[in-house]
Chain A
Amino acid sequence: MRDRLYRIGTGAGFSADRLDPAADLVERGRLDAIVFECVGERTLAFAHRDRRRDPALGFNPWLERRMKVMLPLCARHGTKLITNMGAANPRAAAAKTRAVADALGLSKLRVAWIEGDDVTDRIEMSGGMVGANAYIGADALMPALAEGADVIVAGRVADPSLFLAPLMMHFGWRADDWPLLGRGTLVGHLMECAAQITGGYFADPGRKDVPDLAHVGFPIAEVSADGDATITKLDRTGGEVSVRTVKEQLLYEVHDPTAYLTPDVTADFSKVSIAATGADRVRLAGAGGRKRPDNLKVTVAMDGGYLAEAEVSYAGPGAGRRAELAGAVVKQRMAGVQGFNDAVRIDLIGVASLLATADRRGDVDLATDARLRCALRTGDRAMAEALLWEVESLLTCGPAGGGGYRGRIDPSVTTETRFLDRGLVPTRVHWL
């Protein structure tokens, strides 16, 4: 069977991704495996925050909903489900998965979870550390696959490794066949963000029009034993798989294309060829690989206090100037009355916000619908509340015509990067 194509799909490309395209993929895609890639720097930090609040939490908040829909489909079609939805708590995530399976009468499904990415006890920080996770690789998943896991729930497995592991198992690739691992890693890298290769994060009306974006399909990779692959999607789904969508994803969050570092390999994407071979079919070849890095990357989550944000809107003639005045009032009062001496961010949404730091500002005098946003970070809850109070009080004390106040305070976790010798990060498979 090793000479046939391996069909692997993506069921989620980030924590909060859609579920209906994933169900469709398993229903109609004849998949060997489906991967739900759900951990990023931001979501892992949130997961640590959740686990700190409740030791039974800290895994992906959509896990239960996803498993309820996906487990029966995967069982019926013989599709393996591999995920890092365990985030900061894979043990609890696997227990929840087991419970969902049993409740659906799927007690025969073999559920494994992977321990070992949590390296909190091996990282020294001066204080405020919430948790630390090493990026573990395909090798952590291999024993579970070898023993016939139907579902694998892990934490901080590197995104492409979730795809590489089943390819290695299926084709019998050796763990030091670096060029093959480089090609499998390219497949994983292209697939890991789901719709980002099928027309999501791509449309620019008039320049890059995408068919039926509301129903964008998730991707399938058809991988051959030599590691080359075709990326495609199901018929009767929206979106597109084209040379352009594949190019954009090729370098997504890549720095030096000759050295994409994962726990498995140093992959080389610099000589990849990309060719359209049919409607929504793109063929990849030519990725390479060299020896894997000795050290594993570690994301350390730190207590980041609170992010406070408050907004109020101005409309009609002079709206931009009134919003600007309101922002100046908030800044003055946060410093003078509240005694807050750190940065207060002032945005004029619709005029100067996302790109304001890049000195690309709209014309304040022309703005007729401007939303003031004020934001700060602080370790002091009372100071976070003070910002909301100051912005809300603009309603009567600020410029004319201000309305639509909203304010929110979110606990915040910041992240730092460290490296650990891989010998210090053993992993282990558990069965439930």
Chain B
Amino acid sequence: MPLREIAHARAGDKGDRSNISLWVEDPRHYHAVKAQITPERLKSEFPRLMLGEIAVHALDHLCGLNIVADRALEGGVNASLNLDSHGKSFSFLVLGLTVEID
């Protein structure tokens, strides 16, 4: 199941750190998403992008995950050569991942 079908997301930046909050619409899907959207999974999906530590903070009562990725913005908004130097588009990078739902 593509995440975009069951969740919404928003990306922001501070320095060279990107955070993407991911909100699962139906609480019945939340635990499957939480179990599969892990730092290890993200690291293996985006090895050339998320270069530093990755943390995932859970807000269970809101069915939300906050992905915090260090060294993910090619140096940050004032150093990056990326057209999207803020990484605003990263929310849809994550929503493009798929998860298994029972």
Tell me whether B48 and A254 are in contact (CB under 8 A): no
Docked complex Cα distance between A224 and B37 (Å): 38
Tell me whether B12 and A252 are in contact (CB under 8 A): yes
**Residue from B10, B46, B68 in contact with A248 in the complex, judged by beta carbons closer than 8 Å:** B10
Q: Quick one: which of A251, A354, A355, A377 has the most chain B CB within 10 A?
A: A251
Collect the chain A residues with CB atoms within 8 Å of residue B85's CB. Answer: 42
Interface residue? A20 (CB, 8 A): no
Tell me whether B15 and A41 are in contact (CB under 8 A): yes
Tell me whether A354 and B82 are in contact (CB under 8 A): yes
Given contacts A244-B23, A255-B68, A270-B59, A345 and B81 within 8 Å (CB-CB): yes
Interface residue? B84 (CB, 8 A): yes
The 0/1 profile, CB within 8 Å of B marked 1, for residues 254-290 of chain A is 1111000000000000111110000000000000000
Interface residue? A414 (CB, 8 A): yes
Tell me whether A250 and B83 are in contact (CB under 8 A): no
Closest to B9 in A: A248
Tell me whether B77 and A359 are in contact (CB under 8 A): no
Collect the chain B residues with CB atoms within 8 Å of residue A360's CB. Answer: 93, 96
Docked complex Cα distance between A343 and B66 (Å): 32
The 0/1 profile, CB within 8 Å of A marked 1, for residues 54-66 of chain B is 0101010110101
Docked complex Cα distance between A304 and B75 (Å): 12
Tell me whether A347 and B10 are in contact (CB under 8 A): no
A contacts with B: majority SS: mixed
Interface residue? A373 (CB, 8 A): yes
Number of interchain pairs (Cβ within 8 Å): 117
Tell me whether B62 and A45 are in contact (CB under 8 A): no
CB of B57, distance to nearest CB on chain A (Å): 6
CB of A307, distance to nearest CB on chain B (Å): 8
Docked complex Cα distance between A45 and B76 (Å): 13
Tell me whether B49 and A359 are in contact (CB under 8 A): yes
Interface residue? A349 (CB, 8 A): yes
Interface residue? A95 (CB, 8 A): no
Given contacts A250-B21, A274-B62, A345 and B82 within 8 Å (CB-CB): yes
Which of A69-77, A173-181, A201-209 contacts the other chain?
Answer: A201-209
Interface residue? A79 (CB, 8 A): no
Docked complex Cα distance between A45 and B4 (Å): 35
Docked complex Cα distance between A39 and B4 (Å): 32
Tell me whether A415 and B15 are in contact (CB under 8 A): yes
CB of B74, distance to nearest CB on chain A (Å): 7
Collect the chain A residues with CB atoms within 8 Å of residue B88's CB. Answer: 201
Closest to A247 in B: B23
Docked complex Cα distance between A249 and B46 (Å): 25
Given contacts A207-B8, A248-B8, A253-B19, A353 and B83 within 8 Å (CB-CB): yes
Docked complex Cα distance between A272 and B86 (Å): 27
Interface residue? B36 (CB, 8 A): no
Docked complex Cα distance between A375 and B82 (Å): 8
Tell me whether A41 and B83 are in contact (CB under 8 A): no
Interface residue? A417 (CB, 8 A): yes
Closest to A377 in B: B81
Interface residue? B14 (CB, 8 A): yes
CB of B48, distance to nearest CB on chain A (Å): 6
Docked complex Cα distance between A373 and B17 (Å): 25
Tell me whether B8 and A204 are in contact (CB under 8 A): yes
Docked complex Cα distance between A375 and B23 (Å): 35
16 more contacts with CB within 8 A, not counting A347-B83, A413-B78, A414-B79, are A41-B78, A42-B78, A207-B8, A208-B8, A251-B66, A255-B14, A255-B17, A255-B66, A256-B68, A257-B59, A272-B62, A343-B81, A358-B90, A376-B81, A415-B76, A417-B15
**Interface of A toward B, CB cutoff 8 Å:** 41-42, 45, 201-202, 204, 207-208, 244, 247-257, 270-274, 304, 307, 343, 345, 347, 349, 353-355, 357-360, 373, 375-377, 412-415, 417
What are 28 of the A-B contact pairs (CB < 8 Å)?
A41-B14, A41-B78, A201-B10, A204-B4, A207-B8, A208-B8, A244-B8, A248-B8, A248-B10, A248-B23, A251-B10, A251-B66, A253-B13, A253-B14, A255-B19, A255-B55, A256-B57, A270-B59, A272-B62, A304-B78, A304-B79, A347-B83, A349-B83, A354-B89, A355-B89, A357-B48, A358-B49, A360-B93
**Interface of B toward A, CB cutoff 8 Å:** 4-5, 8-10, 12-15, 17, 19, 21, 23, 46-49, 55, 57, 59, 61-62, 64, 66, 68, 74-79, 81-86, 88-90, 93, 96
The 3 closest A-B pairs by CB, nearest first: A253-B12, A345-B81, A251-B21
